[in-house]
Structure 1
Amino acid sequence: MFPSMPKDDPWDADASRDVARLTTPGRPKAGMYGAVPDAEDEKSAPSESGEDEEEFEEIEVVPVRRPLSVAIGGFAALLATALIIGVQTTGPDTRAPYAIVLFGVQLIGLLAWTMALRPPAAGATAGVIGVAGLIACYLTVTAGEPGLTPLLWVLLGGFVAAVVGQLIRAEDRQRVRDSWRTTLLIAAGVVAYAIPIVLTRQPVGSQVVVVTCAAAGLALFVSRLTDAVFPKPRIAAQVPRGAVGIVLGAMLGTLAGGMLGSYLVYPFTPAKGAIVGLVAAVAAILVDLAVNFGEAGRRLAGEAPTFWLARHMQGPLGGLALSFPAAYVLVHLYLT
């Protein structure tokens, strides 16, 4: 008799399939196209529908307000014209009227920058820096030897006094570390408007002031007027300025400097006048553009907007203020 086969075969068909499933690497499970994800894979897999539903916030394009651009350009032109007329009426014994005019411009700039930049203890800061501006104008008229050294000491003293005033109150003291640059910027802008008096007391200085104010004022006027007509291409979506106006203003400011250089006396030439005009025009436009970017940054940060008049006046005021130190450097390093 033949021995009977065992009834329980450990290698039956079901067991063979289990072994093959466990030992075969990378074999997908049954399903669509031979693969069905595990429950853990479903949990770890990213949700495509969630990504599709994610919404991205669109960048708001700030519109260009044409009447406002024309008004800012007109203000820049009027300010430059007033400074030029003041230089033409200034003499050895008639510097005080021009100093009074410049002190008035200092007060306008001080109010605009204080309301726009909002330093700690704004009232005390404005008062201290205003006194520093008055002292700067007085020293430039009465000093025996004209120069920037007295103005630098006035700037340093006004800045230190303003910071000390900001340290009195606890709520202002917490902001001093982050806002001391703002205080220094305001003080420097105010004191810079006393430099034209220093230049009028030096050879060729009055002519440099005329070329500087003409080039800077024309550059600001043309750039703003162009923005009112053709603000393309936009510098940034949040900044209502166009690149064509920036470039055209710098070019015409340089051209104005070159033309004035051909009519002025030695050592001016058309080339030297163009260099002075280029420096003044670029400095004024860069400051004006920086003001626009600063306002856009504060708007994006959700900060409360400043007083509209101060916000729109600080660009031309700051642009001309920066052009005066540049003119002083050109007088002593390039024209003499």
Structure 2
Amino acid sequence: MYPSTPPETGRDSWPENRPGPAGPHRAPDPRGRPAGPDARSPFDGPRVPDGPRHGDGPRPGDGPRNPDGHRAGARVTDGPRPDGEVDPEELDGEEELPPVPVRRLLSVAIAGFAGLLGVGLIFGAQTAGPGARLPFAVVVFGVQLLFVLAWTMAMRPPALLLVGGVAVAVAAAADAAAVLPQIAALAPLGYVAAGGFLVGVLGQLVRRADRARVTESLGATLFIVVGVVAFGTLIVLSRIPKGTQAIFVCLTAAAVALTVARVTDAVLPWPRLAPQVPRGAAGVVIGAMLGTLAAGILGSYLVAFTPTSGAVVGLVAAAAAALADLGVGYGEAGRQMAGEPPTMWVARHMQGPLGGFALAAPAAYAMSVFFL
């Protein structure tokens, strides 16, 4: 048997990375280099002196703190900002506005008003004769007054009374320019519209309080004046051949489109075109289709029309009226979202049908002159 190696007394076991006051113990390098912090290889390069390393400088957020606990220069996001502005990062978490509910009885009431308005204009046109244009002019003037009332109260231009007065004067002058000339033409109506717009603009520029909102004043004045003059084209159309029948076909199509669209919104307001607009796409489409159908049926019974020509003319009038009515809804929703004060309830809901017929009237004249 081989002799066993005598045990070495007084020798501790090999420490395994025990921390101590001098740091962890390192085993000696087999290549003969000393262990410890001075152990370096010839290939390690020059030693960098001890000092501040890259990135050990002061950080932007390590500055002194204010008495409230925030660092100096730091942006405080807790609570409202003193200038009243909203942080764009906070807008991402805002909830969307709830959709506006569809009021069914109100939709039916607006549909009834659109139907009565169309019936009044159609029967007024039937009373007009070669030497009796005044009764129809009186009917048109009444509709123009409703248009001025509804749109001035809804748009609320800076000089409301001035714009309303100028619009009423323009309505009377446009009706006179459509009845009095020996030859029916639209040129006198254009002169009246330009003169009324100029008077309205000058009247608002004279007032110092209205100069700050001159752009809004010009837009409202122009829209109301043009809408009032547009109804005067019906009087001119009643004086040309086939004009009365064209009024019958086009206004019937417009009245059917507006009435059916509103009734459909009361029954099936789907799909919603916008959450803030209480209208449905089904009503607009179905109304325009049924208005075109009604015009085509009337065209098969009238002498100056055929089913095809009646359908084409009715399609233009019905689409114009339906889109104008829909645009009024979007405009009202935009005013409410902008925080403007609500207008008169009756005037606000009369806008759609009145705007639809105001756009359908010149469309009927254009289709009659250029298509028939």
TM range (shorter): 0.7 to 0.9
In the TM superposition, what whole-angstrom CA distance separates every residue of 1:187-209 from its partner, at most 9, and x where no partner exists? 01111111111111101111111
Q: Quick check: 2:144–2:228 contact (8 Å CA) kept in 1?
A: yes
In the TM superposition, what whole-angstrom CA distance separates every residue of 1:83-107 from its partner, at most 9, and x where no partner exists? 1111111111221111111111111
- Which structure has the greater CA radius of gyration? 2
Name the CA distance, whole Å, in 2 between partners of 1:111 and 1:11: 102
Given candidates 360, 364, 371, the residue that maps to 1:323 is 360
The within-5 A match list for 1:229-240 is: 229-240=267-278
Name the CA distance, whole Å, in 2 between partners of 1:55 and 1:227: 32
**Number of the residue aligned with 2:325:** 288
In the TM superposition, what whole-angstrom CA distance separates every residue of 1:126-162 from its partner, at most 9, and x where no partner exists? 1111111101111211111101100000000001101
**Number of the residue aligned with 1:277:** 314
What's the secondary structure of 1:240's corresponding residue? strand
Matched, 1:148 2:163: no
Matched, 1:314 2:314: no
In the TM superposition, what whole-angstrom CA distance separates every residue of 1:95-130 from its partner, at most 9, and x where no partner exists? 111111111111110010000011121101111111
Root mean square deviation, CA, Å:
2.5
Given candidates 321, 335, 339, the residue that maps to 1:298 is 335
Matched, 1:81 2:119: yes
Partner amino acid, structure 1, of 2:247:
V
Name the CA distance, whole Å, in 2 between partners of 1:11 and 1:73: 101
Partner amino acid, structure 1, of 2:250:
T
Matched, 1:131 2:169: yes
Q: Quick check: 2:253–2:291 contact (8 Å CA) kept in 1?
A: yes
The within-5 A match list for 1:172-183 is: 172-183=210-221
Name the CA distance, whole Å, in 2 between partners of 1:122 and 1:320: 23
TM-score by length of 2: 0.76
Name the CA distance, whole Å, in 2 between partners of 1:13 and 1:239: 80
The within-5 A match list for 1:108-257 is: 108-257=146-295
Identity %: 55
**Number of the residue aligned with 1:65:** 103
Given candidates 94, 118, 133, the residue that maps to 1:95 is 133
Partner amino acid, structure 2, of 1:253:
G
Give the 3 Å change call, closer, same or farther, for CA 13–41 of structure 1 in structure 2: farther
- Point out where structure 2 has 5 or more consecutive residues left out of the alignment: 1-31, 48-57, 63-88
Give the 3 Å change call, closer, same or farther, for CA 255–174 of structure 1 in structure 2: same
Name the CA distance, whole Å, in 2 between partners of 1:57 and 1:10: 70
Moved over 2 A (4+): 9-17, 39-43
**Number of the residue aligned with 1:104:** 142
Name the CA distance, whole Å, in 2 between partners of 1:150 and 1:102: 17
- Point out where structure 1 has 5 or more consecutive residues left out of the alignment: 1-8, 24-38, 44-50
Name the CA distance, whole Å, in 1 between partners of 2:214 and 2:200: 10
- The alpha-carbon deviation at position 323 of structure 1 amounts to 0.8
Partner amino acid, structure 2, of 1:265:
V
In the TM superposition, what whole-angstrom CA distance separates every residue of 1:49-101 from its partner, at most 9, and x where no partner exists? xx99x732123100000000001111000000001111111111221111111
- The alpha-carbon deviation at position 11 of structure 1 amounts to 6.6
TM-score by length of 1: 0.84
What's the secondary structure of 1:193's corresponding residue? helix
What's the secondary structure of 2:206's corresponding residue? coil
What's the secondary structure of 2:194's corresponding residue? helix
Name the CA distance, whole Å, in 1 between partners of 2:334 and 2:343: 13
Q: Quick check: 2:179–2:235 contact (8 Å CA) kept in 1?
A: yes
Q: Is 169-178 or 270-279 further displaced after alignment?
A: 169-178
Q: Quick check: 2:262–2:283 contact (8 Å CA) kept in 1?
A: yes
Name the CA distance, whole Å, in 2 between partners of 1:274 and 1:15: 101
Q: Quick check: 2:102–2:278 contact (8 Å CA) kept in 1?
A: yes
Bigger proportion of residues as helix: 1
Q: Quick check: 2:201–2:217 contact (8 Å CA) kept in 1?
A: no
In the TM superposition, what whole-angstrom CA distance separates every residue of 1:237-276 from its partner, at most 9, and x where no partner exists? 110000111100010011011011101113x110110011
Name the CA distance, whole Å, in 1 between partners of 2:255 and 2:39: 93
Name the CA distance, whole Å, in 2 between partners of 1:333 and 1:96: 26
Name the CA distance, whole Å, in 1 between partners of 2:34 and 2:130: 119
